[in-house]
Structure 1
Amino acid sequence: MEPADKSWQQELEERMLQIDPRNLNGVIDTDPQRAREQGCFGTIYKGIYNNRKVCVKVVGGFSRSFEHLIREMRVWCQLTHPHIVQLYGWISYIKEDFRPSLVSNWCDGGNVRGFLERHPNADRRALIYGIAHGVEYLHSEDVVHGDITPANVVMNGNIPQLCDFGTSFLIWDTTTRPGPTVVGYGMVLRYTAPEVTVGESGSTKESDVWGFGCTAMEILRNEQPYSTTTILVDMHNPAALAQSKPPFTPPSTQTEKTLAPCLEFNPKNRIDMGTVIVSLNG
């Protein structure tokens, strides 16, 4: 990353401080040479804070990435729940380099898909129930996650936690809303609600319910949405969605039947997360 103007760096730090006063500069030990994974807007590193491992999410060196971080901070810093990855604060420097980063709890279990590969006999219904509680909490706080997929559910021991709030926003706070929805390539498209995929709507609570339904069904069946159709490439899925092709074959178990209303093509017909929890608990 090219050196930024000092006054610009200070301005960004001041903005971060106004959003979240938990400045952890100088108390996070991390190795910038060891990345866990890389995404569109940054890289994940392992750090140490108070003698325990933490996740350090470092944004890329572009103004767009910094604005992305600011939006994510505004949403994430207000969230506290057992099924939500906990934000501890932020840092602006790593090894004397200006690298604005968000610091959260570290989840040794990786994402839920990898966890189930290692623990195929895990209680899948319990995992789904925990994820449902996390989504329901977000919606009770008027937060839309915007990207609910198995990759964005990580395991803290046996507890599933929602992560990655880069596309999340507060319904009542327009400053947290991302730009126009862009449906990209890759697996995420498989979990995107039809109305979002074909451009009829941006992300909503209802589209979160669809993403949850797809994620929950994958946990139960060990298969991705649309895996049984003739559509082999994710970028072709919008055509399938426009033709109302279902992401899974008809439900066969009681739990699958409980989840079926999450995958109604008309968002007005989808159940809310509170009803999902009641139904799963029945």
Structure 2
Amino acid sequence: MFQCLIDHGCEDLTSLIDIEKYSACRVAEGGFGDIWKGQLYDGTFVAVKVLRCALVVCTESEKKGLKRMMREIYAWSKLDHENAHKLLGVTMFQGRMGMVSEWMQNGNLRTYLAENPDLDHYKLCTQIATGVEYIHSIDMVHGDLKASNILVSADGVAKLTDFDYSLISDLSLLFTETTRVGGGTIRWMAPELVVETSYQRSKETDIYALGMVSVLVYISSYVESS
């Protein structure tokens, strides 16, 4: 499967990452992968999301986890926009496959709001909305938009990330697409996703989540001004 991704245009960065510069432990974790901080030989810091199971998998849950990761990589590789977190390529790390992306010094949206009370909240909301508009324009649904899935670059630009629940119409890899239903975080989910667990994520449910994110940003600005 690793070679399949390379054949479909993902760059193999294994030889470009300094194995001596990985963080001593994971810095964050997701649904099926752990995030490590790494560094390229040219000094560029990167984030590496590593699948928890090895490529040689045995259990059905491990196979599903690998399939989810492959779908996320494929969807992520389609994105090229200032407000979408950039996938640089893929790598092998301790016998496991990883996704290599830009390192976001300011962390996620919630952390950024707490540490930067004087930021331009309107500009931040506009950037997030622009990112959502972009992925919808290429017929992609994010599916899990929330504060922890929005990162902020060193120069204060919001970027959508974590496309584990994403849906994309052009899925041409050599494995079938699995419809993602259920899961998610209730606070950010449209009511129909909460009431009906078999309801499909859509652009409309993304817009609801965008509204909830905007409320968070607005409340942050109100609290600070008070």
Give me the TM-score of the superposition, normalised by structure 1. Answer: 0.69
Percent identity over the alignment is: 29
Contact 1:146 1:168 in 2 (8 A): yes
Coordinate RMSD, CA, aligned: 2.0
Structure 1 counterpart of 2:217, from 209, 216, 219: 219
Q: Distance in 2 between matches of 1:130 and 1:180?
A: 27
The residue that corresponds to 2:17 in the other structure is 28
Q: How does 1:1-282 map to 2 (within 5 A)?
A: 12-29=1-18, 30-31=21-22, 33-49=24-40, 50-61=42-53, 62-92=62-92, 94=93, 97-157=94-154, 158-173=156-171, 177-183=177-183, 188-199=185-196, 201-222=199-220
More deviation in 205-214 or 64-73?
A: 64-73
Gaps of 5+ in 2: 54-61
4+ residue runs over 6 A deviation: none
- Distance of aligned partners of 1:176 and 1:214 in 2 relative to their CA distance in 1, 3 Å threshold: farther
Matched residue pairs, number? 207
Tell me which structure has the larger Cα radius of gyration: 1
Q: 1:20 corresponds to which letter in structure 2?
A: G
Contact 2:193 2:200 in 1 (8 A): yes
Give me the TM-score of the superposition, normalised by structure 2. Answer: 0.85
Q: Distance in 1 between matches of 2:74 and 2:90?
A: 12
Q: Give the C-alpha shift of residue 177 in structure 1.
A: 4.5
* Higher RCO, Cα 8 Å, sep 6+: 2
Q: Distance in 1 between matches of 2:195 and 2:157?
A: 34
More deviation in 131-140 or 198-207?
A: 198-207
Contact 1:169 1:176 in 2 (8 A): no
Q: Deviations over 1:50-91 (max 9, x none)?
A: 311011010110222211111011111110100000000001
Q: Give the C-alpha shift of residue 33 in structure 1.
A: 3.0
